[in-house]
Amino acid sequence: MTTERSPSPARRWIGALLAGSGLGGTAAYALIQVLGPASGGLPGAFQAAPVATGALVAAPLVAALVAALLGGGAPHATAAATRPAPEVRPGPPPPDRGEAALRMLALLQQEGRLVDFLEEDLAPYSDGQIGSAVRAIHGGCRAVLKERLDLAPILPGAEGATVTVEPGFDPAAVRVTGNVRGEPPYQGVLRHPGWRAAAFRTPETTGERDHTILAPAEVEVL
């Protein structure tokens, strides 16, 4: 956007004086022409009618000076109106939840080999073989959860305890099953207390790593 620069106050007053003087001279010349040569020119006009002649000659000069005085603030108002608004920079984007979930899954694979266990076909193995393998997986994955998550139960109490679900409960937080009739409150048996992530510490990342790689392939050179 281009804004015209307003003239300086000195130039404005000089222009007003020149314009007023020119208009006053024109008015005096016109007055002499109307009165005729017998009037003795401008001095004779002043002698005949001093107030009227002075007012007629000075009026254009005064009008030009008043216009210059009143017009002094207009350019500043225009400049302020056309000044562009300050640029508002957006804040940092929120963290990508999908990326954070992949980094968390990569940690579970790294410490507990969780992906390997879930992708393994367990049908050929006995319960005893599976149980011994699960112990190591459980220890590694539990350590990752303790490091990255602060977990809290949604409903207090041990499994099997009698609890009451009050009106206005959050269906996403409390799932009511069984013989559900009418409106809450509902009284039932707590089958699972639920889990809520009270805090989540996002795993750090370095460089432009591809977060879809949960575990790198390993090649042993013989």
Is 101 a member of any domain?
yes
Q: State which of 25, 53, 82 marks the end of a domain.
A: 82
Q: For residues 186 and 126, state if they share a domain.
A: yes
Q: For residues 111 and 194, state if they share a domain.
A: yes
Q: Is 198 helix (H, G, I), strand (E, B) or coil?
A: strand
Is 218 a member of any domain?
no
Is 216 a member of any domain?
no
Residue 214's nearest CA partner among 103, 114, 123 is: 103
Is 91 a member of any domain?
no
Q: For residues 55 and 118, state if they share a domain.
A: no
Residue 44 has pLDDT above 70, yes or no: no
Residue 68 has pLDDT above 70, yes or no: no
Is 185 a member of any domain?
yes
Residue 168 has pLDDT above 90, yes or no: yes
Residues 143 and 137: their CA atoms lie apart, in Å, by 10
Tokens at 152, concatenated: 């809290």
Q: For residues 13 and 77, state if they share a domain.
A: yes
Q: For residues 70 and 113, state if they share a domain.
A: no
Contact 112, 139 (CB under 8 A): yes
Q: How many domains are contained in the chain? A: 2
Indicate the pLDDT class of residue 221, thresholds 50, 70 and 90: very high
Q: For residues 130 and 155, state if they share a domain.
A: yes
Contact 147, 108 (CB under 8 A): no
The string of DSSP codes covering 144-177 is: HHHHHEEEE-SS-S-TT-EEEE-TT--TTT----
Q: For residues 111 and 152, state if they share a domain.
A: yes
Q: State which of 48, 82, 116 marks the end of a domain.
A: 82
Is 222 a member of any domain?
no
Contact 148, 197 (CB under 8 A): no
Q: For residues 192 and 107, state if they share a domain.
A: yes
Tell me which of 143 and 57 has the higher pLDDT: 143
Domain limits for position 38: 9-82
**Cis status, amide bond into 171, omega within 30 of 0:** no
Widest distance between CA atoms in the chain: 139
Residues 119 and 156: their CA atoms lie apart, in Å, by 34
Indicate the pLDDT class of residue 74, thresholds 50, 70 and 90: very low
Q: Which of 7-16, 103-112, 148-157, 186-195 has the lowest mean pLDDT?
A: 7-16
Its pTM stands at 0.51
Q: For residues 131 and 75, state if they share a domain.
A: no
Residues 98 and 102: their CA atoms lie apart, in Å, by 6
Q: For residues 65 and 105, state if they share a domain.
A: no
Q: For residues 116 and 185, state if they share a domain.
A: yes
In sequence order, what E strands does the chain have?
Answer: 149-152, 162-165, 186-189, 196-200
pLDDT of 47 reads: 55
Question: In the chain, what percentage of residues exceed pLDDT 90?
Answer: 41
Q: For residues 78 and 116, state if they share a domain.
A: no
Contact 199, 180 (CB under 8 A): no
Is 217 a member of any domain?
no
Is 189 a member of any domain?
yes
Q: Categorise residue 194: left if φ over 0, alpha if ψ from -120 to 50, beta otherwise.
A: left
